[in-house]
Amino acid sequence: MKVVVVGATGMVGRMMLKVLEERNFPVDTLIPAASERSSGREVTFRGKPVSVVSVMEAVEAKAGVALFSAGASISREWAPVFAENGTVVIDNSSAWRMEKGIPLVVPEINASAISVKDKIIANPNCSTIQMLMALAPLHREYGIRRLVVSTYQSVTGTGVRAVTQLDNERRGISGEMVYPYQIDLNCLPHCDIFMDNGYTKEEMKLVNETRKIFDDEEIRVTATAVRVPVKGGHSEAVNVEFTKEFELERVRELLSSSPGLILYDNPDERIYPMPLIAHDRDEVFVGRVRRDFSQERSLNMWVVADNIRKGAATNAVQIAEYMVSAGLLR
């Protein structure tokens, strides 16, 4: 199998290479692709250097699958070109997520949404992935009526330049400002651009993607997304109101037995999820699980995951793995 990684020199692209290698994905030929200025550079895969090619060269290779992590504009331009050439595209950008007819997939939740005719599959937003990983088993049993979520998002979600800004500020070095304000020793209630309704694009992704993945337009979602001076992963405070009553013991059973989730919750022993624990892990960690006494049929939880792994690269590779196992990708 020929596998293309578009954006192979970026933070998520390099993680995609690492995850492909870790999970022994059946790569016969790896084709790393990036912008023209990166052509000729090398990335390492399975201990060997591999030369980066242009996106057009990658198209001409007629690969079985292309993992995209190069931004929405590149995906809009090139994903249809790959698809028309017979390559399945798994796209990590926001370009195709809400497009009608394009599956938006978290494999543990809705892999069955993918069919043999699908040539472009969208990877959800990182914050959406981890939140729905924790909520999916509960939604199946109790039905979600309303979600209130506040996110505490790592600078790695913005990219390598944001990490550099944080590092520079901690060292007292002047440099490029990716954010409108200092991020070290600060929190910015500003992820992505502001929209006409007063919410940011990141906040509306949580609203719209939740409804699409759960295939339920009646779920009410409101979100506040905050950027924090952390590198290891995203954290979320999630308040969920169900349509049915629940027992806390059963909630814990569902979370404990759900693939890809780790219930990490023992406040008496000071055991609760943190980015330090989730960093470089593929699992989603759930803790601080407790009843909301202010509202009927409502629950609070704290959800943490590595946004570069399960929130991006790992989820994309898992989609490809599912397609191989289902005979949709050869």
Q: List CB contacts of 324: < 8 A, sequence separation 6 or more.
A: 26, 330
Q: Is the Cβ–Cβ distance between 89 and 82 less than 8 Å?
A: yes
- Answer yes or no: 234 catalytic: yes
Nearest to 81 by CA among 115, 57, 99, 111: 57
pLDDT above 70 as % of the chain: 100
- In our burial notation (b when 16+ CB lie closer than 10 A, e otherwise), range 36-64 reads eebeeeebebeeeebebbebeebbebebb
Tokens 């914050």 -> residue: 127
pLDDT above 90 as % of the chain: 97
Mean pLDDT of the chain: 97
pLDDT digits (tens, 9 = 90+) for 291-320: 999 999 999 999 999 999 999 999 999 999
Structure tokens at 301: 């939880």
Q: How sure is the predictor about 40, in pLDDT bands with cuts at 50, 70 and 90?
A: confident
| List 139, 191, 234, 279, catalytic entry | 234
pLDDT digits (tens, 9 = 90+) for 179-237: 999 999 999 999 999 999 999 999 999 999 999 999 999 999 999 999 999 998 999 99
d(CA 217, CA 116): 26
- Answer yes or no: 126 catalytic: yes
| List 126, 139, 191, 279, catalytic entry | 126
Domains of the chain and any CATH numbers: 2-123+312-325 (3.40.50.720), 127-307 (3.30.360.10)
pLDDT digits (tens, 9 = 90+) for 249-291: 999 999 999 999 999 999 999 999 999 999 999 999 999 999 9
pTM (predicted TM-score): 0.97
